[in-house]
Structure 1
Amino acid sequence: MVAGQSYRPTRRAARRVDTGSDLAHRCCGESNRLVDRWLEEGVRPVLVTTKIKDIHELAAELELVRRGRTVVQCHGVFDLLHIGHIRHFQQAKKSGEMLIVTVTPDRHVNKGPHRPVFTELLRAEAIAALDGVDYVAINKWPTAVEAIQLLRPDVYAKGSDYANASTDITGGISLERSAIEDIGGKLVFTDEIRFSSSALLNQHMSIFSDEVNDYLTKFRRMYSTADVTGFIDRARGVRALVVGDAIIDDYQYCETLGKSGKEPILAAQFVRSEKFVGGALAVANHIASCCADVRLVTMLGSDDSHEAFIRASLAPGVVPEFLTMAGAPTLIKRRFIETYPFQKLFEVYVMNEQAAQQKAHDLCAVLEQVVPEVDVVIAADYGHGMIGPAVVDVLCRTARCLAVNAQVNAGNHGFNTVSKYRRADFISLSEKEIRLEARNPSGDLRELVHRVAGALQCRQVLVTRGARGSLCYGRDEGFFETPGFALRTVDRVGAGDAVFAIGSVCAAVGAPIEVIGFIGNAVGSEAVGIVGNQRFIERAPLLKHIEALLKV
Structure 2
Amino acid sequence: CHGVFDLLHIGHIRYFEQARRLGDVLLVTLTADRFVDKGPQRPAFPEQLRAEAIASLAGVDYVAINEWPTAEETLRRLRPHFYVKGSEFKGVSSDRTGKIGREKQVADELGITLAFADDIVFSSSNLINRYLSTFSEEVDSYLQLLRRRYSLEDVLAVLDRMAALKILVIGDTIIDEYQYCEAIGKSSKDPTLALKYQSSDLFAGGVLAVANHVAHFARNLDLVTVIGGIDSQELFIRQHLQHNIAPTFFVQPQSPTTVKRRFVDGYSFNKLLEIYVMDDSGLGGEQQAALHELLEERLAGYDLVIAADFGHGAITPATRELLAERAPFLAVNTQANAGNRGFHTISKYRRAHYACIARHELDLEVRDRQGDLRRTMEGMRERLGCRAFTVTLGRSGCAVSAVGDRFVQVPSFSQKIVDRVGAGDAFFSVSAMAAALDVDIEILALIGSVAGSLAVETIGNKKAIDRQGMEKYITALIK
Match of 1:139 in 2: 66
**Structure 2 length-normalised TM:** 0.97
Distance 1:208 1:543 in 2: 19
Match of 1:390 in 2: 318
Q: Deviations over 1:364-422 (max 9, x none)?
A: 12211222221100000000011111111111111111110011000112211111111
Match of 1:99 in 2: 26
Unaligned runs of at least 5 residues, structure 2: none
Q: Is the 8 A contact 2:230 2:254 kept in 1?
A: yes
Distance 2:283 2:265 in 1: 33
Q: Deviations over 1:84-118 (max 9, x none)?
A: 11111111122222222222222222222321111
Distance 1:544 1:367 in 2: 37
Distance 2:79 2:280 in 1: 59
Q: Deviations over 1:109-168 (max 9, x none)?
A: 222232111122222222222222222222233332233233333322111111113432
**Structure 1 length-normalised TM:** 0.84
Q: Per the alignment, do residues 252 and 131 of structure 1 end up closer, same or farther by CA in structure 2, a change over 3 Å counting?
A: same
Equivalent position amino acid for 2:470 in 1: L
1:413 aligns with 2:368: no
RMSD: 1.4
1:373 aligns with 2:292: no
1:194 aligns with 2:121: yes
| Structure 2 SS opposite 1:245 | strand
- Percent identity over the alignment is 48
Equivalent position amino acid for 2:152 in 1: T
| Structure 1 SS opposite 2:263 | strand
| Structure 2 SS opposite 1:354 | coil
Distance 2:283 2:367 in 1: 28
Distance 2:385 2:76 in 1: 56
1:533 aligns with 2:461: yes
**Equivalent residue for 1:354, pick from 271, 281, 299:** 281
Equivalent position amino acid for 1:348 in 2: I
| Structure 2 SS opposite 1:515 | helix
Shift of 1:356: 3.8
| Structure 2 SS opposite 1:114 | coil
Match of 2:17 in 1: 90
Q: Is the 8 A contact 1:240 1:376 kept in 2?
A: yes
Q: Is the 8 A contact 2:228 2:252 kept in 1?
A: yes
**Equivalent residue for 2:175, pick from 248, 256, 260:** 248
Match of 1:488 in 2: 416
| Structure 1 SS opposite 2:26 | strand
Distance 2:54 2:71 in 1: 17
Match of 1:16 in 2: none
| Structure 2 SS opposite 1:116 | coil
Distance 1:164 1:482 in 2: 34
Distance 2:40 2:476 in 1: 11
Match of 1:305 in 2: 232
1:521 aligns with 2:449: yes
**Equivalent residue for 1:469, pick from 381, 394, 397:** 397
Match of 1:155 in 2: 82
Q: Deviations over 1:175-194 (max 9, x none)?
A: 11111111221211111121
1:224 aligns with 2:151: yes
Q: Per the alignment, do residues 357 and 156 of structure 1 end up closer, same or farther by CA in structure 2, a change over 3 Å counting?
A: farther
Distance 2:80 2:262 in 1: 49
| Structure 2 SS opposite 1:98 | coil
Equivalent position amino acid for 2:412 in 1: G
**Equivalent residue for 1:455, pick from 375, 383, 395:** 383
Equivalent position amino acid for 2:110 in 1: I
Shift of 1:78: 1.1
Match of 1:5 in 2: none
**Equivalent residue for 1:281, pick from 208, 223, 247:** 208
Match of 1:364 in 2: 292
Distance 1:218 1:357 in 2: 53
**Equivalent residue for 1:326, pick from 253, 256, 262:** 253
Match of 2:109 in 1: 182
Q: Which deviates more from structure 2 when the two are superposed, residues 133-142 or residues 538-547?
A: 133-142
Match of 1:444 in 2: 372
Match of 2:331 in 1: 403
Shift of 1:477: 5.5
1:127 aligns with 2:54: yes
Shift of 1:357: 6.0
Q: Which deviates more from structure 2 when the two are superposed, residues 434-443 or residues 379-388?
A: 434-443
Distance 1:416 1:392 in 2: 12
Q: Per the alignment, do residues 303 and 209 of structure 1 end up closer, same or farther by CA in structure 2, a change over 3 Å counting?
A: same
Trace 1:194-213 onto structure 2 (pairs within 5 A).
194-213=121-140
Equivalent position amino acid for 1:389 in 2: P
**Equivalent residue for 1:433, pick from 361, 378, 382:** 361
Shift of 1:355: 4.3
Q: Which deviates more from structure 2 when the two are superposed, residues 142-151 or residues 270-279?
A: 142-151
Q: Is the 8 A contact 1:254 1:268 kept in 2?
A: yes
Q: Which deviates more from structure 2 when the two are superposed, residues 128-137 or residues 451-460?
A: 128-137
Q: Is the 8 A contact 2:310 2:334 kept in 1?
A: yes
Distance 1:357 1:466 in 2: 37
1:339 aligns with 2:263: no
Equivalent position amino acid for 1:328 in 2: S
Distance 2:41 2:391 in 1: 23
Match of 1:550 in 2: 478
Q: Per the alignment, do residues 230 and 412 of structure 1 end up closer, same or farther by CA in structure 2, a change over 3 Å counting?
A: same
Equivalent position amino acid for 1:403 in 2: A
Q: Per the alignment, do residues 406 and 414 of structure 1 end up closer, same or farther by CA in structure 2, a change over 3 Å counting?
A: same
Equivalent position amino acid for 1:503 in 2: S
Q: Is the 8 A contact 1:360 1:390 kept in 2?
A: no
Q: Is the 8 A contact 1:357 1:388 kept in 2?
A: no
Could you list the structure 1 runs, at least 4 aligned residues long, displaced by more than 4 angstroms after superposition: none
Equivalent position amino acid for 2:273 in 1: F
| Structure 2 SS opposite 1:419 | helix
Q: Per the alignment, do residues 428 and 149 of structure 1 end up closer, same or farther by CA in structure 2, a change over 3 Å counting?
A: farther
Q: Is the 8 A contact 1:472 1:481 kept in 2?
A: yes
Q: Is the 8 A contact 1:477 1:513 kept in 2?
A: no
| Structure 2 SS opposite 1:386 | coil
| Structure 1 SS opposite 2:163 | helix
| Structure 2 SS opposite 1:174 | helix
Distance 1:386 1:514 in 2: 32
Q: Is the 8 A contact 1:327 1:355 kept in 2?
A: no
Trace 1:164-183 onto structure 2 (pairs within 5 A).
164-183=91-110
Q: Per the alignment, do residues 531 and 429 of structure 1 end up closer, same or farther by CA in structure 2, a change over 3 Å counting?
A: same
Q: Deviations over 1:337-370 (max 9, x none)?
A: 0101111101001111124465432221221122
